[in-house]
Structure 1
Amino acid sequence: PAPDGTPAGEELLIAFDRGRDLRLLVCPAWFDEANKLRRFTLEVMRRLDRAGVDCLLPDLPGCNESLAPLQFQTLEGWRSHMIAAAEALRATHVLAIRAGALVAPPALSGWHYAAQSGPKLLRGMIRARTIAAREAGWDETSEALMAQGRAEGLTLGGWAIGPAMLAALEAAEPVLAPGQSELAQSALGGPGLWLRAVPGEDAGQADRLAARIVQSLAGAPA
């Protein structure tokens, strides 16, 4: 549903849906990390499907195949989208990946995998832009870019982030709701795939993350 009461839109959903009792909503990583973790996310979903868990991965408005303009999206709108998706898809649990933890529905039990705050997300994207500008012979500072972003929005890594989204991210911190727990990267072994220069995969890490979720669903500590 649209937050202003206009007709509802449609977003792409990748689903391993066999109508089972356990139904996991996946809140994906954002922006450049979404590209780097897409294969990993789907591999975790495939493993959970084989373990008897339905997995549901909706696009956020403005991302991937969405027809909604990214520059008009807000953090609160994305949160509302995920809550609506959870209700419509009858999700029982949530897996939030990296910045996806900022929009995880609080009513669902589940896991935050290597959760990332809004300030850290912005710092990384701003730093990448200033480095690229310096290599191109331009003079850009993080302070000037943030001021521009607050006033009119900012394009970071090819992503058009509007002023409302940027302002919200400056203070956004992931919060574990009751029934939700943190899954640190250290539990999977090796560095996070978002640190690689190009998208990749790691079957071992996908195995271990899926196994941790299955263990937790069975009542063992994740």
Structure 2
Amino acid sequence: MIRAYRFDGNDELCLRHGPDDGPALLILPPLFDEANRVRHLMVETARALSGHGIASLMPDLPGCNESLVPLDRAGISLWQASLIACTEQLGPVSHVAAIRGGTLLDGALGDLPRWRLAPAKGGQLLRTMLRTKIASDREAGIASSSDALMELARTQGIELAGNSLSPCMIRELDAAAPSEGSAVRLARFADDPLEAEARIAGAPLWLRAEPAHDPAMAASIAADLAAWMRG
């Protein structure tokens, strides 16, 4: 079901699945172009959670998806404020699940229990997008470097991977890292050598060139989330 929440003078959309009564899980997908590649996965995960009897909210952030706000007006702090507004209007929320760059935002609601899949620092996301731009520039016969692009981005903003990012966004993103918390469940993919409390079937869809879906991954994520939320 599509709901709407009011933030900064605009109506932003939010997908809600599951029962209407009781608290919900707030779902935070990856950021920027990575979000486009896993949108289907996230929606199917929310539907699978509904089958477990768990409600979920997946809001559009200002400047993203169907939002009418230009992305170059957004920043990490603005997105966190929008999540507070969303959950106050459409909540309550009892748990938060975030993937990749979404983990940069999951501390907005305080120390709620948090589930994280493959968390990433903001600087890591920036470097990935910069590498893509440098490769694109090279194909166009343009010489560019990460240092020069970052210097420009911090003062004038920049377009990376089709996203128009303001100087504010660049500075906040470069400094952003997943916040610490007392109740964090860390999930990683089965072949990831790093330590984790949960293992998810499949491989990162955000690394693919085009959007894709993996039904087994959606089921795996939903099952782990449901078990975690029920304790």
Q: What's the TM-score, normalizing by structure 2?
A: 0.88
Q: Aligned letter for 1:136?
A: A
Instruction: Kindly report the root-mean-square deviation, in angstroms, between the aligned alpha carbons of the 2 structures.
Output: 1.4
- Are positions 1:210 and 2:222 aligned together? yes
Farther off after superposition, 79-88 or 39-48: 79-88
- Contact 1:98 1:113 survives alignment (8 Å): yes
- Are positions 1:181 and 2:171 aligned together? no
Match among 96, 99, 115 for residue 98 of structure 2: 96
Q: Distance in 2 between matches of 1:106 and 1:176?
A: 10
Match among 175, 178, 194 for residue 206 of structure 2: 194
Match among 124, 128, 132 for residue 128 of structure 1: 132
Q: Distance in 1 between matches of 2:219 and 2:180?
A: 24
Q: What is the aligned partner in structure 2 of residue 55 from structure 1?
A: 56
| Aligned-pair CA distance for 1:17 | 4.5
- Contact 1:22 1:52 survives alignment (8 Å): no
- Are positions 1:169 and 2:141 aligned together? no
Q: How many positions carry a matched residue from both structures?
A: 215
- Contact 1:119 1:171 survives alignment (8 Å): yes
Q: What is the aligned partner in structure 2 of residue 141 from structure 1?
A: 145
Q: Distance in 1 between matches of 2:111 and 2:161?
A: 33
Q: What is the aligned partner in structure 1 of residue 87 from structure 2?
A: 86
- Unpaired stretches in structure 2, ≥5 consecutive residues: 1-5, 191-198
Match among 106, 113, 117 for residue 113 of structure 1: 117
- Relative to its length, the structure with more strand (as a share) is 2
Q: Match of 1:120, SS?
A: helix
Q: What is the aligned partner in structure 2 of residue 44 from structure 1?
A: 45
Identity %: 37
Q: Distance in 2 between matches of 1:18 and 1:217?
A: 15
Q: What is the aligned partner in structure 2 of residue 15 from structure 1?
A: 16
Deviations 1:102-125 (A, max 9, x none): 111334223112111101100000
Deviations 1:152-202 (A, max 9, x none): 100001100000110111111112423232212331133211111111111
- Are positions 1:69 and 2:70 aligned together? yes
Q: Distance in 2 between matches of 1:106 and 1:180?
A: 12
- Unpaired stretches in structure 1, ≥5 consecutive residues: none
Farther off after superposition, 176-185 or 206-215: 176-185
- Contact 1:114 1:183 survives alignment (8 Å): yes
Q: Aligned letter for 1:84?
A: A
- Contact 1:15 1:54 survives alignment (8 Å): yes
Q: Distance in 2 between matches of 1:177 and 1:84?
A: 21
